[in-house]
Structure 1
């Protein structure tokens, strides 16, 4: 079948080797690469959560569970949502999924028909667009920029609305930019959704990881929004549980029931051991979340200090664990994608270009706070050296 694409379904979008794949191949041939690319925390899952998983296995948590998840976990999720200012949900209005990413596809396949439009922020987390495409729906990208610190606004959205607009995605805090949508702006977006009868996917997976005085306003808690909002979150980021694969969807019963059937068809249920670990995450001590948030705060300062020293501008990192930096501000004569490849090959630092996340420019890069501060400082030194090398080349070429 080598080279024969005629057997592939039309929904398969073929492309050259993905940039991340190329970069991983480059990294395989290098020693001592500092990886500031992936959104996978380097921090370990807190010990009490791991212990709960081990005990669950010893007690026989090795079988299918209820398709929507074990009842104690769904009850704990409902309490947790309410405790952080969200809407009130019954346990049967929650689905535990094998990670938040699968939840995106379940939502899209349940809500979108061919020709429907899903409105997504750009840059934003790219699997939302993939989920819409697999549903044969159209993706409408709303470009964001530095002028709003890459914050999605109602004024940006409204000109893109059509009679086919059905689902609006709000990622708050945003991946890849780390911006937090102000509560007043969330209210304006909610008003727009009510006016145009939109369903909102409120992705709040980074909501526990915010800095300074920033605060995440849960969409479903706003007037008239519970019945038209799907809240998506999970345990990967706040509890460093990426490998456990536990996410969840919360929403009105009339939408959750059909979503549950699709989730059942995909996975039958989320791994039982992971669900018991997630239950321990919510019901156990929460100081681990604050400890990790403070670690990210220190790393954020280290990245920003290194960028400031280089004269590289960036969006204010208000939440999540990313810094979105502007390569174009260095005036190097190359785009963000080319810069990432050179930084990896010459500086042994891996970061990702914003084009991976749908950015309409090739100007920005995403840096993850997923290395200790001392490694981040070394990464910033290596980056400065690569920048100096590129500038020296340009001077030589100009001469």
Structure 2
């Protein structure tokens, strides 16, 4: 039998071998523990709204079990176009929208369609990690644009400008951001858009959390800005606002000159997105929207409760303005974020993730998700405070 190392040599060079991921290790630890409160996942704890599930069931009963048009069923693409425009975005025609098996696959289709070896893709860090993986698969050069608490972990035109080179081709905007839960102000988006025009950049505008914002925050759709429609790929989906992660359905939209070719990469990957999921997504967009508002308001209540608890513990955090995350600084414990997460799980049975898995090289911040009821969030905070008190007592004893 061939050794593991010998077999690994047969892997293509694009496969980046790494140690077992932090998330996998945490999952393994959690398997041996009881009553773990999971504040790490980006999966809503709500059930998919009943009218959406019903639409999927009825579609299956009516025979929606075959391939659809490669770009997606026309009625769904029309509903997506209408929805984008309703929320202040650009106007798209049916052949400028591609329905994909989740927003994550859309990222890889975009990268493989637009990036050649040596092209640079600018990605905010911390930011959603699959953009890093998409750059690797495309043999492109990943350029991290670090953000900090000084700008509430949002991109600014000044930060972006510092990282543009003659090889820069794509700029990724994630708004609201995952993992920080922050929203880039509309005026800053406008400045970044002007920078993209000046340097001939294509902007990938990830707006999957755009329906989930709090207070007076608003998300500025990039493609609607002057001069941006023909250089923007808008990416979104149904997983977050409609609690449809398991349905695996997203989309991207852009100018016809790009989308026609990009659709062929999508077709090679998937042929078409699952028919039942498309019919469910159509019901999501055309049916009652009160379910989205109810979930948003619930996340907002959880946000306030979590932030109040973090204040009591003494942790600072980025101002959470959207999505369903709070990004908290745990460096005051004297531990790295990674070590803190592991200790919090082992001793407090609370699972969170460090910012390092999202490209944050400081290893000081953790992402906490608002995907648990307030009672469980309150209990998680109680456990966290106990663990933090224990860590501080240890430090005091060792310093004596």
Fold match (TM-score > 0.5): yes
Cα shift readout 1:196-237 (whole Å, capped 9, x = no counterpart): 000000000000000000000000000000000000000000
The aligned counterpart of 1:227 is 230
Match for 1:49 among 45, 52, 74?
52
The aligned counterpart of 2:219 is 216
The aligned counterpart of 2:370 is 369
Distance (whole Å) between structure 1 residues aligned to residue 302 and residue 162 of structure 2 = 38
The aligned counterpart of 2:327 is 324
1:239-250 → structure 2 map (5 Å cutoff): 239-250=242-253
The aligned counterpart of 1:192 is 195
The aligned counterpart of 1:339 is 340
Distance (whole Å) between structure 1 residues aligned to residue 9 and residue 82 of structure 2 = 50
Distance (whole Å) between structure 2 residues aligned to residue 24 and residue 93 of structure 1 = 40
Normalised TM-score (structure 2): 0.99
Distance (whole Å) between structure 1 residues aligned to residue 349 and residue 334 of structure 2 = 21
Q: Which SS does the other structure have where 2:333 is aligned?
A: coil
Distance (whole Å) between structure 1 residues aligned to residue 36 and residue 271 of structure 2 = 39
Match for 2:278 among 275, 279, 287?
275
1:162-311 → structure 2 map (5 Å cutoff): 162-311=165-314
Residue 139 of structure 1: how far off its partner (Å): 0.4
Cα shift readout 1:287-338 (whole Å, capped 9, x = no counterpart): 000000001001101110110000100000000000000001xx22210000
Residue 3 of structure 1: how far off its partner (Å): 3.0
The aligned counterpart of 1:116 is 119
Q: Which SS does the other structure have where 1:3 is aligned?
A: helix
Distance (whole Å) between structure 1 residues aligned to residue 5 and residue 296 of structure 2 = 47
Matched, 1:101 2:92: no
The aligned counterpart of 1:378 is 379
The aligned counterpart of 2:147 is 144
The aligned counterpart of 2:157 is 154
The aligned counterpart of 1:31 is 34
Q: Which SS does the other structure have where 2:283 is aligned?
A: helix
Q: Give the length in aligned residue pairs.
A: 397
RMSD: 0.6
Normalised TM-score (structure 1): 0.99
The aligned counterpart of 2:352 is 351
Residue 98 of structure 1: how far off its partner (Å): 0.1
Distance (whole Å) between structure 1 residues aligned to residue 367 and residue 281 of structure 2 = 28
Residue 112 of structure 1: how far off its partner (Å): 0.1
Cα shift readout 1:218-270 (whole Å, capped 9, x = no counterpart): 00000000000000000000000000001000000011111110101001100
- Which stretches in structure 2 are left out of the alignment for 5+ residues? none
Cα shift readout 1:172-201 (whole Å, capped 9, x = no counterpart): 000000110100000000000000000000
Residue 73 of structure 1: how far off its partner (Å): 0.1
Residue 395 of structure 1: how far off its partner (Å): 1.5
Runs of 4+ in 1 over 2 A off after TM superposition: 1-4
Cα shift readout 1:140-197 (whole Å, capped 9, x = no counterpart): 0011000000010010011111110000000000000011010000000000000000
Match for 2:24 among 21, 25, 30?
21
Distance (whole Å) between structure 2 residues aligned to residue 131 and residue 384 of structure 1 = 38
Residue 360 of structure 1: how far off its partner (Å): 2.2
Distance (whole Å) between structure 2 residues aligned to residue 223 and residue 391 of structure 1 = 53
- Which stretches in structure 1 are left out of the alignment for 5+ residues? none
Match for 2:85 among 75, 79, 82?
82
Q: Which SS does the other structure have where 1:233 is aligned?
A: strand
Distance (whole Å) between structure 2 residues aligned to residue 7 and residue 92 of structure 1 = 40
Distance (whole Å) between structure 2 residues aligned to residue 371 and residue 332 of structure 1 = 25
